[in-house]
Structure 1
Amino acid sequence: MERLHTKFVHLPLVAFPPPPQRFTLSEWHLNDRYRNRVCLDQQRLADSVVAEADRLIDQVNEVTDTNKRDVDHKIDEKIKDIEFNKTEIDKQRKEVCIELESLNTYIERIKDALNQLQEDALKISRKCLLLRESRVGIDLCCDAIDTELKKELQIVEGARNLLQRTLENATEQVRRLKATIYFMDRDLEDKGNVLKIDKHNLSLQETSFNLSIYHGFAPLDPANITLDEWEQFTRESIERAAREINSARQLRSYVDTLLKQVIEDLWNQYHTVNEAFRKRIEETKEAKMKMEVQHSEIVRQVNEMTRAIGRLSKAISEKEGYMALAHTRLGNRAQRPGVELCKDLVEISLVNEVGELRSNVAMLQHQRAEAEASLRYLLKTQIQLEEDINVKTNTLKIDEVDCMSLRQSMDYHAY
C-alpha cells in the first residue's frame, strides 16, 4: 500500500469537463421562437427609435432655425433701435453744441460789458467826482452834479455786480452743457460699440469660422439692466439735454434783456448827468458873467473914486490958498470935461460959501475920508470878485473842460 501511494503522487492529474446539457426538441422549438420574437421586437424598437430620432432632429432643426431667425430679427430690431436712439442723441448733441457756442458768445458779450463798465464808466465817474473835489471856495458844494454822479456810480456798480452774477450763472450753464456733451459722447460711444457687436453678431452664421463653445463658469448673460431701464436711460439723456438747452436759451434771453436794460439805464443816467453838467455850467457861466460885469463896474467905480479922492484932495489943498484964488479955481474947474463938469459940493462951496471956507474944508476932508473908506471897500470887493471869478473859472474848467471831455469817451452799446 505504501508503495502504491508513492506511485500515484508522482503522476500528473487530468481534468475532465462535465457532460453537456441535453435539451428536448420542444425546448429547441421554444427557444427558436423566443429568439425570433426578440429579434422582431428589437427591429420594431429600432425602427421606432430611428423614426423618433428623425422626428426629433426635424423638430430641433425647426426650433433651432426659428430661434435663430427670431434672434436675428430681434438683433436687427435692436440695431434699428440703437441707430434711431443714436440719431436722436446725435441731433440733440448738435443742438447742445450750437447752444454752447451761442452761450460762449453771450459770455464774451457780458465780459465786454463788464470790461467797459470797469475800465471806462466806473473810472470816469470816479475821476469826475475826484476832479470836482478840486473846486475851491463856495463852489465846493454838493450840487445836482455830485448827486447824479454818485447815482451814476451806484448804477454802474449795480450793473457790474448784476452782470458778474449773470456771468457766473452763464459759466455754470456752460459747464453743465459740456457735462451733458460728455455724457452724450460716452453714450454715443457705448451705443456705437454695441452696434459693432450686434452687427457682427448678425453677420455670424452657424457655419462661420472662429466659433467657439464656452466652457467657463462665469455666466454668459451678465446683463442686469432691463430693456425699460435702457430705454428710460436714453430718454432721460435726451430730456436732460433738452432741459439744459432750454435753460441756456432762457439764460441767453435774460442776458439780452439785461444788457438792453443796463444800457438803457446807463444812457439815461449818462444824459441826466450831462444835463446836470450843462445846467450847472450855464449857471456858473451866468454867475461868472454877472461877477465880471460887477467887477467891471467896481473897477470903474474904483477909478472914479480914486479920481474923486484926488479931486477932494486937490480941492482941500486949493482951499488953503487965498480966497482970491477961488475965482481962478472956478475958472479952472470950468474946464472939466464931459460929465465931470458937474455942480458938486466943491463947486457950490467955491461959488456960494466962500466965507465959510474952513467949514467947507472940514466937509471936504470928511468927504475924502468917506471916499477913502468906500475905496477900501471897493478894492476889497474887487479882490473878492476876482477871487470869485477865479473860483468860477476853475469850476468851469473842471466841469466843462475836464469832466465833459472825459464823459465824451463814455460809450454804451449792445456789446
Structure 2
Amino acid sequence: MASEQYAVHNSIGAPIDQTRLAEQALVCAPPRTAKFTLQEWKLSNDQRLRNAEDQQHLADRILGECEKVRDETKERSELLKETTDRRIEERIGDIEFNKQELLVQRKQICLELEALGMYKTRVFDCLASLQTNSLNIVRKCLMLRDGRIGIDLVVDPVEQALQTEITTVLGGQSLLRRALEQLQEQMRRLRATRYMLDRDLQYKQSAIDLDKGSLALKPTDLCLSIYEGYADLDPANISAAEYDAYSARNIQLAAREVTSARPIRVYIDTLLKQVIDDLWKAYDRCNREFNERITATKIAKARLEDLHRETTEKIMQMQTNILELKKALAHKEGHIGLAHTRLGRRAQRVEGELVKDPPGQTLFYECEMLRRSTQELQQMLHEANASLRYLCQTQIQLEEDINVKMNTLKIDEVDCMTLRATMDYHSY
C-alpha cells in the first residue's frame, strides 16, 4: 500500500529527486492492478482542483505584483531620465557659462596681442630708424669732419656733441632692445595662455556636443547599445570641485597675463617718449654747436679775407715803394757821378791851387751825404724787398687758411648740416 501511495504521489506531478533516488536502494513493487478504486479517483480529482486553484491564486498575486512593478519601474525610469536630462541641461549651462568666461578672456588676450603687436612694430621701426638713419648719419658726419685740413682739424665742441649723440643713440637702442625682449616674452606667454584657453574651449565644446547629443537621445532610438563589459562604465576621475578649480585657474591665469601685459605698453610709451626726447636734445645741442662753429669759422674766414685784402694792398704799395726806391737810387747815381766828377776835376788842380776851399768842402760833404743817402735807400730797398717777401708769404698763408676755412665750412655747413636735415625723430 505504501508503494502504491508513493507511485500515486509521483503520478500527480510531484518532482522526483533523481539524486536521492540514486542514493537509495530500489524496492521492487509488484505491478499494480489495471484499475483504480473510487476513493483514489476522488482523491486525485480533489487534489487536481486544489492545485489548480492554488496556481490561479499564485498567478493573480504575481500579475498584481508585476503590474505594480511595471508601474513603479516605468515611473522610476521616467523620473530618472527627467532628473538626468535636467542635470545634463544644468551641466551644459555650467559649461556654457565657463566657455563664455573663457571666450571673454580669449578676446581680451587677442586684443592685447594685437596691441602688443603694434607696439612691437613701433619699437622695430624706431630701432631700424636709429640704426639706418640717425647712427649712420652721425658717424658719417664724424668721418666727413675728419676731412678737415690744417689747423681746423681740431677736437671742438661739435665733435664732442657728435660723440655724445652717438652715445645717446646707442643707449636708446639698448633700452629699446631690452624692452623688445620683455615685449616678446609677454607675447609668448599670452600666446601660450591663448593656446591653453583654445584647448580648454575645444574640450568644453566637445563636452557640450556630447551632452547635447546624449540629451537628444530617446529610449526608442535604434542607435542605443547596452554595455556588457566588466570595467566601470564611467571612467571619470575628476571631481566637480577640481573641474571648477581648473576652469577658474585658467580664467585667472588669462586675466593675470592680460593685466601684466598692460604695464608693458605704458612702459614702452614712456620709454619711446623718453628716448625721442633725449635724441631731440642731443640733436638740438649738436646742431647748436654746429651753428656756433660755422659762425665762428665764417667770422675767422671773414677776418682772414680782410687781412688778405689788406695784405694785397700792402703788397701793391710795397711794390710801388720798391719802384720808387729804385728810381731814387737811379736818380742818386747821377748826383753821385756829378759830385765825384767834380771832385776829380778839382783834384787835378796844381801847386797852390790845390786848396781846401769851400766848394771842395761842399763837394766832399755832398759826396758823403750822397753815399749815406744811397746806403739808406739801399737799406730801405733791402727792407722793402724783405717785407714784400714776407707779405707775399703772408698772402699765401692767408689764402691757404681761407681755403682751409672754406673746406671746413663746406664740410660743416653743406655736407654735415644737409645730412642732419634728413634726421627725423617722431613718435613711433
- Letter of the 1:196 counterpart: D
CA distance in 1, matches of 2:409, 2:56: 133
Q: Name the CA distance, whole Å, in 1 between partners of 2:197 and 2:117.
A: 20
- 3-state secondary structure, aligned to 2:335: coil
For residue 383 of structure 2, what is the aligned residue in structure 1? 370
Question: Which one-letter code corresponds to 1:88 in the other structure?
Answer: E
Give the stretch that moved more between structures: 294-303 or 174-183.
174-183
The structural deviation recorded for 1:82 is: 1.0
- Asked if the contact 2:335–2:370 (Cα under 8 Å) also holds between the matched residues in 1, the reply is no
Q: Which amino acid aligns with 2:198?
A: D
Q: Aligned pair 1:256/2:269, yes or no?
A: yes
Tell me the residue number matched to 2:402: 389
C-alpha deviations, 1:45-71, integer Å up to 9, x for none?
Answer: 776666555555544444433332222
C-alpha displacement of 1:401? 0.3
Question: Taking structure 1 as reference, are residues 101 and 298 closer, same or farther at Cα in structure 2, changes over 3 Å only?
Answer: same
Q: TM-score, normalised by structure 1?
A: 0.80
1:67 and 1:325, CA in 2 relative to 1: closer, same or farther beyond 3 A? farther
**210-219 or 195-204, which deviates more:** 210-219
Equivalent residues, number:
375
Deviation, structure 1 residue 404: 0.4
Give the 5 Å matches for 1:19-30: none
Q: Take 1:191 and 1:236, find their aligned partners in 2: how far apart are those partners?
A: 15
Query: In structure 1, what is the equivalent of residue 412 of structure 2?
Result: 399
What's the counterpart of residue 192 of structure 1? Answer: 205
The corresponding residue for 2:299 is 286
| Residue 165 (1) aligns with residue 178 (2) | yes
Instruction: Kindly provide the amino acid, as one letter, of the partner of residue 403 in structure 2.
Output: N
Specify the code of the residue in structure 1 equivalent to 2:124: K
Contact 2:318 2:388 in 1 (8 A): yes
CA deviation after TM superposition for structure 1 residue 106, in Å: 1.7
2:278, 2:201 → 1: CA distance? 47
Structure 2 match to 1:124: 137
Amino acid at match of 1:230: Y
Show the counterpart of 1:154.
167
The unaligned stretches of length 5 or more in structure 2 are 1-28, 340-364
Deviates more, 1:359-368 or 1:134-143: 359-368
Which of 17, 42, 50 is the aligned partner of 2:31? Answer: 17
Give me the whole-angstrom Cα distance separating, in 2, the residues matched to 1:377 and 1:231.
102
- Give distance in 1, aligned partners of 2:184 and 2:411: 42
Query: 1:102 is aligned with what amino acid?
Result: A
Structure 2 length as normaliser, TM-score? Answer: 0.78
Unmatched 5+ stretches in structure 1: 1-14, 327-351
- Who is 2:117 aligned against? 104
Residue in structure 2 matching 1:176, options 172, 175, 189: 189
How far apart are 1:199 and its partner, in Å? 0.9
Matched with 1:225 is 238
1:143 aligns with 2:156: yes
Using the TM superposition, name which of 44-53 and 184-193 deviates more: 44-53
User: What residue is the counterpart of 1:274 in the other structure?
Assistant: 287
Name the residue aligned to 2:219: 206
> Which residue of structure 1 aligns with residue 10 of structure 2?
none
2:344 alignment counterpart: none
Task: Determine if the alignment matches structure 1 residue 319 to structure 2 residue 308.
Answer: no
Post-superposition offset of 1:325: 8.5
**% identical aligned pairs:** 49
Distance 1:127 1:316, change over 3 A: same
Q: Kindly provide the CA deviation profile for residues 204-238 of structure 1, in whole angstroms up to 9, marking residues without a partner as x.
A: 23333322211123322111222122112222222
CA offset digits 1:184-206 (Å, max 9, x no partner): 22222221111111111112233
Following the alignment from structure 2 to structure 1, what is the Cα–Cα distance between the partners of residues 236 and 374? 133
CA distance in 2, matches of 1:191, 1:58: 38
Q: Name the SS of the counterpart of 1:322 in structure 2.
A: helix
In 1, Cα distance between equivalents of 2:188 and 2:50 = 90
